[in-house]
Structure 1
Amino acid sequence: MNHIFDSSFVLHVSSFMKKILFIEDEPALQKTLSSAFTSEGFEVIQALDGETGVRLARQKKPDLLLLDLILPKMDGFEVLRQLQADPETKSIPVVVLTNLEGMGEVQKVIELGARDYLVKTNYKLDELVAKVKTSLNL
C-alpha cells in the first residue's frame, strides 16, 4: 500500500491555538493561570508589568489580553489607553482580572474598552477559563 503525502494538507496546530497575553505581576497567580490555559490548548504569553505587556501586545498580536490593573511601570488603565489608541491593538479583546472591586474602576475600564471585568477572588480557576473562552466565542 502506497501513501502519498502532500505537505499542503499539513496544518500546524499552533496556527489554531488561541493566543492569550496575561499581564499580571503576581508570579504565583500567573503560573497557575498560565498552566490552566495551556492545558486547555491556549498559547500563553506572560508579562509581569504594564510596559512589557504593551510591547508584547504590539509584537505578538494576541487573540485576547487578560489584564491586572495594579501593575509596576504602567498600570492597567494606561495599558488599556495605549492599546485602544493604537489601530494595531485596538481590536484585541481585553478581560480585566483584578482585586479592585469599586464601581468606579469597573466603569472606567469598560469606558476604556475592556470587554469584561472580573474580580480575582470571586472566581474559581475553571470559571475564569470558561469566561475567557466565552470572550473568545469558543
Structure 2
Amino acid sequence: MLLTETARAMVTKCEFNLLDPKGKEFTGAKRSGNYTFSKRGDMCYLLCMKRTDFEASGYLNDDCLTVKLHLTVVKPCFVDATRKQIIVPSSDLHQHFGGLLKSGEGTDVTFEIDEAISAHTC
C-alpha cells in the first residue's frame, strides 16, 4: 500500500512469494506483475492462491507465514527533445596504441627477424 502522496504516478514491478522457515521459496505461490501507484492508499494484491493449495504447501507454520516481496520502482526515461543528435568526440585511440608500440611498454611478445620487433598479444 502506498502510504504517502506522490507528485507523479509510480510504476512498479512487484514479485511476491512464500518462504519456508529456512528461506526456501514455494514455487507454486510466486506471483509477479506491474502496478502503478498514483495516490495514497493504492494497493497491489499478488499473493492469491487456492486455500487447499496454500494449506497443502507446508509453508503455514503455527498460523504464521513469511512472504518475500521484491519491489522495483521503475523510473521514467526522459528524452531532451531539443537535441537532434548525439555528438561523439573524435577518437585518439590510435595514438595510444602507437605510443605503446614505440615505447615497448607492456610488450609480451618479441619477433626476431633481421631486427627485434616488440608486440602486444592483443
| TM-score category of the 2 structures, normalised to the smaller one | under 0.3
Larger radius of gyration: 2
Greater helix proportion: 1
Greater strand proportion: 2
TM-score by length of 1: 0.19
Query: Relative contact order: is structure 1 or structure 2 higher (C-alpha 8 Å, sep ≥ 6)?
Result: 2
TM-score by length of 2: 0.21
